[in-house]
Each structure stands twice: as structure tokens, then as C-alpha cells.
Chains A and B, each alone.
Chain A
């Protein structure tokens, strides 16, 4: 893929202007760091992304992994990418120094991943999930488990997987049936089947460390009876040497729409005498452990969505600037030269919408990462707590808005390329297929709607919600001299007021009847998403306004900031007002979809 990865100027803007990442340098954890180190790390990320990930984006799609005599075969570039990722030090970038890490701030690690995602989302899945597994092990594994498994993954000798889903259970994990039987050796033997497990076999490393959710025999029913186990593909002897093959096998590969270079497997545990599993932490607390890692994973999925949308935008922009086609409606001279696609108003609409979605999604993910950072390293406990509450609230939105509108965005990229967009000779159709996963994994959209309205908004007397409203209101408060964003402020203010009223109305409805009250939760999630996106855009627009009116920017910078302002205008003037229509349906408790009956279809 020749298209540039993301946009370095935007990354610089987001990191150092929008999020003021340099402020972190005053925190003790980051005293060894500097902007120079951040920038050098990003250069390395871009190099690795361009050289070792982007080089097989199409190839990994066209030659998807296959299962031959029980062995997964895949293109060799995958292994090189995995090894370079590890060698570059990205796997441990966020960890403590004494654990072999670089103590890199969260948001920097996210930008590194954004480049990798933009280059090749399928191959990026291997390190992405492995980072999650190392975090999980660090947080909840015993000392012995950590010393046995972490070095394996950190050196790239094994990757990690998260095995939650089963053929019968996806969204409703409480009902999983994989069984863990206590064994005389003090460990467990697992029996059952997992479905859709990503990266669970490959030829990029010698071993695979599965993190598996299962129920210990006679465990309590539902989510309170789920435990977490380490199940390595090859057992590891206590001295760290590889041991016997464990009783976990790939029953088959799923043939996916996108993300194809990430193997996707049906896994069988215990076809013979049971897969040896090692309990992590306490029994029955497994789902809780997983959930504590959830915010990170969800920002991670959204970041992938943002990056794919960004690449679709980059591609279609490049195309629109090169392809001559047609003339303006006003042109009466058939002999005149054709104009470029970008000169058509409707193409600019499609591009501007993509800009609003993709840059907005990336900004939203990085903002969430900065809040995550504050939750962990803000100097005052009060600020850490505030960040925690805010992040918990917005996570369903941060996961869902980029995923949903990433799909819309990649759809528009195809539209700009026309027929060329629909054929495999151009990359935008692949991006669209890759993108389509994001509203499905890490919780389908509906689950996030219910999480937001049924749990997050009302949690702790609406503490998170109130913080959110305060934060937005802060940004609405101060008027500016230039006045370039006045109407944007006004637009968001109306939408925020609407959100507050709708939220009150819906919480009443939920109280009165849980099922009816939550029936339209996905629409509430969309409404909330539009407001968060508009807020993120207003923040960017305000900065742009300040820079432009200072009057000391070069031409290219002025154009950059004008682009930010225009995208904010587009989003707030064109897409935010849909909030009112949603509010009308939600406030009145509209029951049209709820009342629909099975036999009426």
C-alpha cells in the first residue's frame, strides 16, 4: 500500500497541542523521558509499520492462513513483523523499567499501535492481543506464573490469546460451558470448545499462551462462577524448558470477511485427557479480572477502527486529487478539460465526513488514553478518581463510535473511488471488510448500549455522568475573541442539554420497566457518541482558532488548522443535530421496535 500511514502533522497536533503530552514529563514516572524520546519512538514505530507490516497488507488478505494437517500455514512476512515488533521494544513499551519496559506513557504507546494498525490490522492482532495477555498476567498472575510466561511472550517466543467466546456463547459469557476439573497435581484439566479465538495458532512463534475462561466443576451459575486459566499450547517445565504438547487443538479455521491474516480458530480443549490449565488468581473471579483489562482492550479496538478509517480517508483523498472526471454543473463547454474529483462538491462532502470520522475517532481514542493515563499517574488521588469515573462512563462510547462510524467512513472511501473502489486492485474494499469486525468484537454494539444506559450512567449516583457534563461545560464556557467557534459552542450546548434531559427520562423509564427502558439503548449510545465526538471536535476547533488568530503560522499550518475548523463545523452542523430526532424517540419511550412481534415478520 503506497498511501501514507495516518498523518504525522495530525499526530503531532493531537499529542502535543490537543493533549499536551509534554505535561506528563513532570510526573515522576516519566522524568527520564523527553519530547525527543517520544518523537524518536514514533519514528521507529512508523519505520517498523511501513517496512514490516504495510508490506503484506494485501498479501495477508489474499493468501489467508490455512490449516494443513493440523498445522497453520501463513505467509512468512507475518513472523518477521511479529519479531520486529518485539525487537523494537513495543511489546514492553508501557511496562516498568524493572520489568524490562520503557515506562512509555499510555498515549504514546497508543500512537505507536495506531501506526501499526494503519499499516496492517490483521497482523497487528498478534502483538495487540499479546500485550493484553501480558497486562492480564502482570496484574493477576502469581509470581511463578509471571516468571514462567511473561519472558516467553516478551521475547516473542510465544504469543498470547484471549479465549472467552464459545460456539454457544458470545455476548452472554455467564453461560459458558467449558469445564475445568480439579486434578490431583493441584492444577486443572479443561474440557470444552472455544470459538472465534484470534491468533490461537500460527507459525510466527513456537508456543501459544491461551488465557481461557472456564467454569470449575460445581461453580456458581452465571458470571460469578467463571475462572481464568493459563493453558499453554506446549507445557512449560518449571525450569522454563518446553515440555509436552497440551491437549488443546485447533478444530478448524474460520474464514473471515476481513482481518484475514489474524488466524481465527475453533479450539478444542480436552479431546483426550484434558488440557492442563493453571488457575489465575482466585477461583470464580475470572471474568472480573478480564473486565479490569477491558477498558484498555476497548480503547485498543477503537484505535484499530480509527486507523482503518484513517487509511480509507488517506486513500480516497489521494485518489480524488488525481482522478479527472466530469465538469462542474455550470460548465457548458464539453471540450473543456475535466476537473479533478475533489473539485466536485459532493466528493468534498464525502471527504470531509471521513475526515470528521477518522480524525475524530483517533482524537477520541487518544483522549481516552490520556484519561486512562491520569487514572494511573495523575499526582492527586482526587484527579485519579475523577479520571477513573469519567473513563468508565465514556468507554462504551469510545469503543462504539469509532467502530460504527469507521464503517461509514470506509464505505465513503469506496464511494469516492467508484468502480475502482469495489475491485480488489485497490485497497479500500479490504479496509471496509477489515473495519466491519470492529462493531462486533470486544462487545457488540447492543451490549455497549446496555452497559452505558443500564450501568455506567447511573453508577455511583451518576458521578461519571456528572463529571462528563462538567468537562464539556468547561469547554463551552469561555468565549473567544475571534468568534470562529461561537456557533459550534452553541450547537454543542443545545445537544448537551438535550442529552441531560433524555438521560433523566430514560433512567425513569428503566426504573419503571427495565426491558422497555433499555429497549432503545443502542440509540442512546449513538446519541451519546455524537455528543462526545462533537465535543472532541470542538476542543480541536478551539485550538485551531487560537493558532489561526495568533497570526504567526506558515501557510501549511494555516491550512491544517482551517481543516480542523471545517471538520468541526461539518460534524457539529451536519451530524450533531440528529441528536434531536433521537431524543424525540427516546424521551417519549417510543415502542415501535419493542412492540414488533416475531410472527409479524
Chain B
């Protein structure tokens, strides 16, 4: 079984991201970047499938700037076999990213595409679903358990009401939720080995993908600062304020 696994380069989750002073977006200059944590979980799942003899090849794919090669390399150090970097300097929307994946799926013909359920930069939660739509493959999002069974896969999904179990036919698109697994770290020997693995470079243009944006960013601003609280005299005043000022109860 061949698995495509998506890795996105995002600001490290420890970094407190600030808005640019001209409100045109987040200020990422000199910010520490890392693999999107949900993508890391996807990579881990793929590697475990390989260790269990289920997967035969894992291809880590990133769509992003040249520097995203670092995140592909991280995936290789974690156990992916080779990488593909779709290089672009524009900040792509989920649809454009999904189209790149669709093109790569056409070339590589994987049995499964594994992604994080969302990336912590845009929090869109769309790319996996869009890939499924574009390829016409079955999809299971928010996976917390994946079991392969011949040419079918059973996925336990985390949904608002609890856990939902679905069975899909392969090829399929699956997105990882937080509890799917606990990702490993890359050992030093594996980091060194990753250097020798290949990363193929391509571009959206080469893949024939139109990346023109469909959404216009109007403004990126920091959240309003929290105001100091006030003291209320009694419960009646509290309820009054909740009703009439905060309007959170009626």
C-alpha cells in the first residue's frame, strides 16, 4: 500500500504569533517554524502502518515555500521514504493545495492520502475534504483510530456526539485528529539517514494547478485586549448585567 502524507510548514505552536502592524497578516518574520502538529500525527500513523507491514511506501508532500523542504525532511526523518515539495511563494488556499494533491494523486496513484484534520495557521479544516471531492475518493475526517482490512479501511471518527465508526473503500482520504497517536521524535541516526532520501521539487504550474485566490483578506488584527472586570453588589445586579450588557442569557 502506498500512502501520501501531507505536511504543512506553520509557525511553531509555542510561538505567540502577532499581527503585522499594517494589518495585512500575521508577522512571521524570523518566527520559528515547524511541522503542523496534526500533520505530525498523520506522518506517525503512516509510519506505524509501514512498521506493521501494511504500507510499503510513504511519500511526504508539502505545498509551500522552498523552506518547507525542512518539514518534508522532518517527515523523512520520522520514517517517510521520499518527499515531494510543491514549491510556491504565495500563501495558498485549501482549494489550491487540494488541487496540487489531486494532481500528485494522479501521478502517484496512492491507496491512501493521510492529512492532519487542519493546520494550526489557517484552522481551515478543508484540504482533506476537498481532496476527497476532487479525486472522488471516500473520506473519513477526524480519525482517532484507523484499521486496514484488505481493500477497505475502518475509521473511528471523533464527532461532537462521541465516536462514529465508518468503513471506507480504498483509495481513501483520511484526516487525523489529536488522539490518533502520539508522534515519535526523530532519532539522530534517522535524521542523518533522511538527508540521503530524495525530495522531488515541482510547482503548482508544473502540476497544472490554478492557484489564484478566491478569498480576499481584508484585515488581520490582534484580538481586543481583555478589559478589567467589575465588582457587582449582588446576584441581581450580576444577572442584570449578564442579560442586558453581556447579552449572554435571556
Contacts and interface: CB of A to CB of B under 8 A. Distances in A.
A37 B191 contact: yes
Contacts of A83: none
B129 to A, nearest CB: 30
Size bracket of the A interface: 20 to 34
A553 B29 CA distance: 9
Nearest to B182: A51
B106 to A, nearest CB: 30
A89 B188 contact: yes
Contacts of B186: 40, 43-44
Nearest to B69: A36
B192 A32 contact: yes
Contact of B195 (A32, A87, A90, A554): A32
Contacts of B32: 8
Nearest to A552: B29
A34 B27 CA distance: 27
A48 to B, nearest CB: 6
B228 to A, nearest CB: 8
A44 B188 contact: yes
A102 interface: yes
A40 B30 contact: no
A104 B188 contact: yes
Contacts of A48: 185
A127 to B, nearest CB: 13
A462 B87 CA distance: 57
Interface stretch (B70-78, B167-175, B213-221, B238-246): B70-78
B227 interface: no
Nearest to A84: B185
Interface in B194-249: 194-195
A47 interface: yes
B189 interface: yes
A101 to B, nearest CB: 9
A553 B189 CA distance: 35
Given A47-B185, A89-B188, A37 B30 contact: no
Interface string A545-561: 00000000110110000
Interface string B26-40: 010110101000000
A88 B186 CA distance: 7
Contact of B185 (A8, A44, A102): A44
B187 interface: yes
A88 B190 CA distance: 9
Contacts of A409: none
A556 B185 contact: no
Contacts of B73: 36, 40
Nearest to B194: A40
A36 B188 contact: no
A557 B31 CA distance: 10
Interface string B59-83: 0000000000010011001000000
A41 interface: yes
Interface string B4-40: 0000000000000000000000010110101000000
A89 B187 contact: yes
A492 interface: no
A332 to B, nearest CB: 21
B195 A34 contact: yes
Contacts of A37: 191-192, 195
Contact of A554 (B30, B77, B187, B188): B30
Nearest to B183: A47
A102 B192 contact: yes
Of B192, B194, B195, most A-chain CB atoms within 10 Å:
B192
A93 interface: yes
A87 B32 CA distance: 26
Given A554-B30, A557-B30, A40 B187 contact: no
B34 to A, nearest CB: 8
Given A40-B74, A87-B187, A554 B27 contact: yes
A90 B191 CA distance: 12
B105 to A, nearest CB: 28
Nearest to A35: B70
10 contacts: A37-B192, A39-B70, A40-B77, A40-B186, A40-B191, A41-B191, A43-B186, A44-B185, A44-B187, A89-B187
Given A44-B187, A89-B187, 4 more contacts: A43-B186, A44-B185, A47-B185, A554-B29
The 7 closest A-B pairs by CB, nearest first: A89-B188, A47-B185, A44-B185, A40-B191, A89-B187, A554-B29, A102-B188
